[in-house]
Amino acid sequence: MIAIIDYGVGNLFSLRSSLDMIGAAAKVTSDPDEIKKCGKIILPGVGAFADAIAKLRESGLDKVIKEEVARGKAIFGICLGMQMLFEKSYEYGEHKGLGFLKGSVVPMEKYISNDLKIPHIGWNALHIKRDHPIFKYIKENDCVYFVHSYFATDCDDSLLATAEYGKELTAAVAYKNVAGMQFHPEKSGEVGLKILKAFCEWEVEK
């Protein structure tokens, strides 16, 4: 069973449906006991970093997630959910993240030329930097769907894939039992479903 963390941010309908589609057992939950019982965690998220991390803390779910990750449970962050896995974000100020991954989240506008539109929105090709079980069903140049204005940087330890948009933007990360995608696998057609399937099958090495 996979726990999709519900902390009052974003629309979980598509994520839930895409897991149904690949036959994965999942539940949308904010109940710590349920989360502890589940074998894996998906941390979704859209909107602003400060809001989202505040909601996670207010609900006490940040502690639950940290405990479970410390116990070796696999976690998969999506979009803002991925950004929250990092140490900090510079979205409207400076905010602490969950700190599972080294690196920080920064505004795209400071790093790419201003003739490129922000947010980076649409289908873009993945450039895979190294093999990982989560990518076992997909290949170099497969396209996935992005919607974001901030990106993770200084994350060499965990970098899995990038997408080119003025510069190489972090598209996917994984380190030990922690993984994250900047794009939306639940909106990336077949490729996205394959990534979710691979996450469901992923056995973290102890």
Partner 1 sequence: MITKRIIPCLDVKDGRVVKGVNFLGLADVSSPIKLAEYYSKSGADELVFYDITASSDGRALFTDILTEVARTIFIPLTVGGGINTIDDFDRVLKCGADKVSVNSGAIKNPELIREAAMKYGNQCVVISVDIKRVNGEFRVFAKGGREDTGMEAISWIKKCVSLGAGEVVVNSIDTDGVKKGFDVEMLRAVCDAVNVPVIASGGAGCVDDFIDLFKKIPTIDAGLAASVFHFGEIEIKDLKKELAKNDITVRL
Binding of residue 201 to partner 1 (CB under 8 A)? no
Partners of residue 170 on adjacent β-strands: 162
Partners of residue 146 on adjacent β-strands: 122
Residues 6 or more apart in contact with residue 59 via CB below 8 angstroms: 7, 8, 30
**Binds partner 1 by CB under 8 A, chosen from 134, 171, 188, 198:** 188
From residue 61 to residue 80, the character string flagging contacts with partner 1 as x (rule: CB under 8 A) and all else as - is --------------------
**Binds partner 1 by CB under 8 A, chosen from 54, 106, 112, 125:** 125
Binding of residue 13 to partner 1 (CB under 8 A)? yes
Binding of residue 170 to partner 1 (CB under 8 A)? no
Q: Which is nearer to partner 1, 48 or 106 (CB)?
A: 48
Binding of residue 8 to partner 1 (CB under 8 A)? no
Cβ atoms of 200 and 22 within 8 Å: the answer is yes
Alpha carbon 205 to its chain's center? 20
Q: Which of 91, 148, 184, 200 is catalytic?
A: 184
User: Which listed range, 27-35, 88-96, 143-151, 175-183, lies at the site for partner 1 (CB under 8 A)?
Assistant: 143-151
Quick one: how many helices (H) and strands (E) in the chain? 6, 14
Binding of residue 175 to partner 1 (CB under 8 A)? no
Q: Which of 79, 91, 95, 200 is catalytic?
A: 79
Spatial strand order in the sheet of 159-165: 26-29, 2-5, 40-43, 74-78, 178-181, 167-175, 159-165, 127-128
User: Which listed range, 32-40, 54-62, 172-180, 188-196, lies at the site for partner 1 (CB under 8 A)?
Assistant: 188-196
Residue 132 known to be catalytic: no
Write the DSSP symbol of residue 26: E
Binding residues for partner 1 restricted to 21-50, rule: CB under 8 A = 21, 46-47
User: Which listed range, 52-60, 82-90, 97-105, 141-149, lies at the site for partner 1 (CB under 8 A)?
Assistant: 141-149
- Please tell me the distance from the alpha carbon of residue 183 to that of residue 148, in angstroms, as a whole number: 8
Cβ atoms of 45 and 9 within 8 Å: the answer is yes
CA distances from 50 to 14, 147, 172 (A): 24, 18, 21
Q: Which residues bind partner 1 (CB under 8 A)?
A: 11, 13-14, 17-18, 20-21, 46-47, 117-125, 143, 145-147, 164-165, 186-190, 192-193
Active site residues: 79, 184, 186
